[in-house]
Amino acid sequence: MKFAVIVFPGSNCDHDAYHAAKHVLGQDAEFVWHKETSLQAADVVILPGGFSHGDYLRTGAIARFSPVMASVQAFAAGGGPVLGICNGFQVLLEAGLLPGAMLRNADLKFHCEHVHIRVEVVDTSFTQLCRSGQVLRIPIAHGEGNYFASPEVLRMLEEQRRVVFRYVTPGGEVAESANPNGSARNIAGICSERRNVVGLMPHPERACERVLGSADGLVLFESVVASLLDSTGLAPPGSTAAREAGELPAIRS
């Protein structure tokens, strides 16, 4: 399975995503510079976190015009799985691949901490190995993660079950105190109508090894590999199922 990690000027989590895919999950991975027009025959595309183009104008507003984004748009339109993390989520919003927009955090402060998010749906490319209602401990690092959408769009997202992650307490309860940035309805991540494009503000790639404080984010990467290999009936290389079957050594912690 091949992961393409898109690199914009100002990306600073590209190596984290590459490490998660290649060294933790054991899959092929390749960096793709934003001026490229090919995704190098990728099976999965990741738009990583960072500060693309210095976050000038608005977060992600310049990156959406990068040449590679035409290929990302076509890949997504063809059903290919795309994951936008933090700044990558912001780019997906600006590019129209996901609805809504990002505002400054409600308290106007940059937040760098672990939060808890609840998995709301398990039928996306990146959550199929999750349990509905599962609570993940994942770090955030952003100053503009306050998800905003019109009442009509928020209603549509809820009705179509496109809210994928929600900020919650450690016990899984939706509460204002658990919302680090003021996001509407405690939304931490959403998906496209076809459920193959997912964007979230927390950083699952920084929570793939227990030594980092949490390995809860690994399930998103395992899920997308599983979703692409489902038809074969085989356990995805590097997955928990494969390790438990004795096919591979355990992921290092």
Q: What is the pLDDT of residue 57?
A: 84
Q: What is the pLDDT of residue 230?
A: 79
Catalytic residue among 203, 208, 209, 222: 203
The tokens for 80 are 């290919």
Told to judge if 203 belongs to the known catalytic residues of this protein, a careful annotator would answer: yes
Q: Which two tokens stand for residue 203?
A: 């950083």
pTM: 0.90
The pLDDT, as a whole number, for residue 232 is 43
pLDDT given for residue 238 in this prediction: 40
According to the model, what pLDDT value does residue 126 have? 98
List the chain domain ranges: 2-243
Q: Which CATH superfamily is domain 2-243 in?
A: Class I glutamine amidotransferase (GATase) domain (3.40.50.880)
- Residue 164 token pair: 């994928």
Which of 86, 130, 191, 208 is flagged as catalytic? 86
Question: Of 120, 205, 209, 222, which residue is the catalytic one?
Answer: 205
144 annotated active-site: no
- Which of the residues in the chain have pLDDT under 70? 231-253
Residue 224 has a pLDDT of: 97
208 is catalytic: no
Query: Quick one: pLDDT at residue 245?
Result: 36
